[in-house]
Amino acid sequence: MRLNEAVDPWHVFAVWYDEGVAHEPDVPNAMQLATVGPDGRPSLRTVLLKGYDPEGLVFYTNLNSRKSRELSANPNVAITFHHKSLERQIHVEGTAQPVSDAEADAYFATRPRGSQLGAWASQQGQAMRSRETLEHALAAMAAQFERQDVARPPHWGGWRVVPSTFEFWQGRADRLHDRVTFVRDGQGWRRLLLQP
């Protein structure tokens, strides 16, 4: 696929993402997620892509976390994937919206039991006195759900990032990299070739 001739950013994303999964040795679905707080200050962290389709890119988290609170107040986000082994970056800008309860339930059911219990036990991002606080909460959840399926906590769900811009960056010799941006234009996309 010739990046400079591509017309559909979702096709490029799918090809590049699949190649990243095949070649990147460490967590190829890791993406940097930038949000903005009520004070206008940016915040950046790594989350894991758990699914994508033409509607958007999906990740899951604690809905009381800082990122979720910021997304609820200001849905504008930026995401970057870096596949170092392929000398590639995919940058996405767009808006985040909550996934449906049905989607969150379906994904939660696929998580390892320990992760399911951890979602109940952890008050993500909140201060605690000691590690034992978390371990006691985890033990309590394990006892509560002993011999039964772990239901999804009401404070745990997902976000779908609906892209308005894609940028694909391919490293080249002498810093003459390929950069192609796709900007949402009505129902389609406008392609721009950028200088490196």
Q: DSSP string covering 32-100, please? A: EEEEE-TTS-EEEEEEE--EEETTEEEEEEETTSHHHHHHHH--EEEEEEEEGGGTEEEEEEEEEEEPP
Give 53: exposed, middle or buried? Use CB within 10 Å, 0-12, 13-18, 19+. exposed
Determine, yes or no, domain membership for 91: yes
Determine, yes or no, domain membership for 122: no
Q: Residue holding tokens 């962290």?
A: 45
What residue type is assigned to position 191 of the chain? Answer: R
Token pair belonging to 163: 């892209």
pLDDT for 1 equals 66
Determine, yes or no, domain membership for 178: yes
Determine, yes or no, domain membership for 96: yes
Distance between CA 7 and CA 122 in Å, rounded? Answer: 43
pLDDT tens-digit map of 25-82: 889 999 999 999 999 999 999 999 999 999 999 999 999 999 999 999 999 999 999 9
Determine, yes or no, domain membership for 32: yes
Q: Residue holding tokens 């997620």?
A: 33
Instruction: Judge whether residue 174 has pLDDT over 80.
Output: yes
What domain count does the chain have?
Answer: 1
Determine, yes or no, domain membership for 61: yes
CATH number, residue 107:
2.30.110.10
Whether residue 172 lies in the annotated active site:
no
pLDDT tens-digit map of 68-127: 999 999 999 999 999 999 999 999 999 999 999 999 999 999 999 999 989 998 888 778
Determine, yes or no, domain membership for 124: no
Determine, yes or no, domain membership for 123: no
The H-or-E segment that residue 143 falls in is: helix 131-144
**Cβ contact 60:156 at 8 Å:** yes
Single out the catalytic residue among 69, 175, 184, 191: 175
pLDDT for 140 equals 85
pLDDT tens-digit map of 118-157: 999 888 877 878 888 888 888 888 888 999 999 999 999 9
Whole domain around residue 15: which residue ranges? 3-112+154-194
